[in-house]
Amino acid sequence: MSWEKVKLKELYEVHNGLSKGRKFFGTGYPFLSFSTVFNNYFIPDEITDFVQSTEKEQENYSIKRGDVFVTRTSETSNELGMSCVALKDYPKATYNGFTKRMRPITGKLLPEYVGYYMRLPSFRAGFQAFSTMTTRASLRNEDLLSLQIAVPPIDVQEKIAGILGAYDDLIGNNKKQIKLLEEMAQRLYKEWFIDLHFPGYENVEIVDGVPKGWRKEKLIDLCDIQYGYAFDGTLFNDKREGTPIIRIRDIPLGYSTDYTTEQADERYVIRNGEIVVGMDGEFHINSWGGEDSYLVQRVCCFRPHDEKIRGWLLWALYEPIKYFEKTVVGATVSHLGKKHIDTIELLQAPRKLYVPFDRYFKQRQILLNQNRKLLEVRDRLLPKIMNGEIEV
């Protein structure tokens, strides 16, 4: 198999992203964040981050089908060059200043093919050679555009994208089911624990705003809270060497692609199904869907004393944690500290009310685990197709 190799400068033009102060984020128009680029081969159908952008900014930093977004700066060089491709136009959307946009200037490449090719470990290795380290790793336009990409005929690109896309379709269907389960659990939590319209509420007396027999308890009395370990970042890698690590950006996905060769105490090991929360920037909340992994600094884990309340706890945590995300402001970024977590109180109810939350949680966890396995299969298949080991 012999495919033409073409430098990116013959296929794309490069533009840096939008940089604004923190006060402009959270409301406004769709905004493609660094974490979304890092964690996705393709931009999700809906962009869920927002920024207050002007019409001029939306014009200069627009997102259109075929655009490729590449991480241009990070704490370590192995995080550079993570790409994410737009498969449609995103009206009024802009993208993050820590990424670069490559806009196609020819019709030689199918966006679906590019999204897979640029995530090849062999292609990404080129970024390592070009990265420059000061306090952060960075990537220059001329270095990015000097990289070469294999350009097979369009019909071959379509076949490759079709094979790999089948896995993404299955993952997408699972994500839709996960979202439905989350919506059901959130609605139920609001109805039973906030509006207090739980089964039989008509016959229960309310005393000081709390149903009789219920009580408020500190979160720290319901859970063991494990804070992350300060690992040496120079020992992080994406080559599957050592033990997986859980970083803030991994929480929305529920699994990790980074590893460390450093060893830490057993208490920092997070198991599949445990609840993890990011403590800087966006305070992401999720149950872990990956293999046993180390918990790094700025991430914490909530381990309920009673396993039967774990599903309920995932939704009970959401409102107070997100409240702090909006109200706690550090010097440059929001930080969720132990002093904030220690103030959280949750309303405790009869144990029978936790049963449906446990069911939703287990169903959701099965889907999260399935998606991780599908991604692993897809990523193992990717280089075999691209190097001709599997014929298309």
263-279 confidence digits (pLDDT tens): 999 999 999 999 999 99
Name the residue with tokens 């991780």: 372
What CA–CA distance (Å, rounded) separates 121 from 238? 9
pLDDT digit string (tens) for 16-75? 999 998 889 989 999 999 989 988 999 999 999 999 999 999 999 999 999 999 998 766
Q: Over 90: is that where the pLDDT of 329 sits?
A: no
Q: Of 145-154, 158-167, 283-292, 323-332, which range is least confident? A: 323-332
Identify whether the C-beta of residue 109 lies closer than 8 Å to the C-beta of residue 117: no
Architecture (CATH level 2) of domain 4-152: Alpha-Beta Complex (3.90)
Measured between alpha carbons, how far is 319 from 279 in angstroms, rounded to an integer?
15
The pLDDT of residue 135 is above 60:
no
pLDDT of 78 reads 66
Per-residue CA distances from 98 to 120, 140, 200 (Å): 21, 12, 53
Give pLDDT tens digits for 85-110. 999 999 999 999 999 999 999 999 99
* pLDDT exceeds 60 at position 392: yes
CATH T-level topology, domain 179-348: Adenine-n6-DNA-methyltransferase TaqI; Chain A, domain 2 (3.90.220)
Closest to 252 measured CA to CA, from 284, 282, 210: 284
Q: Where in the chain is the domain with CATH 3.90.220.20?
A: 4-152, 179-348
Cα–Cα distances in angstroms (integers) from residue 273 to residues 13, 212, 220, 226, in the given order: 43, 32, 19, 15
Q: Find out whether 26 and 50 touch, Cβ atoms under 8 Å.
A: yes
Structural tokens at position 343: 């103030």
Give the pLDDT confidence of 183-205 residue by residue, as tens digits.
999 999 999 999 999 999 999 99
Q: What angle do CA 320, 325, 331 make, to 5 degrees?
A: 140
Question: Would you call 355 helix, strand, or coil by DSSP?
Answer: helix
Q: In the structure, what pLDDT confidence band is assigned to residue 133 with cuts at 50, 70 and 90?
A: very low
Tell me what pLDDT residue 327 has: 83
Terminal CA-CA length for the chain: 10
pLDDT of residue 122: 87
Report which of 326, 263, 251 is spatially closest to residue 290, judged by C-alpha positions. 251
pLDDT of residue 334 exceeding 50: yes
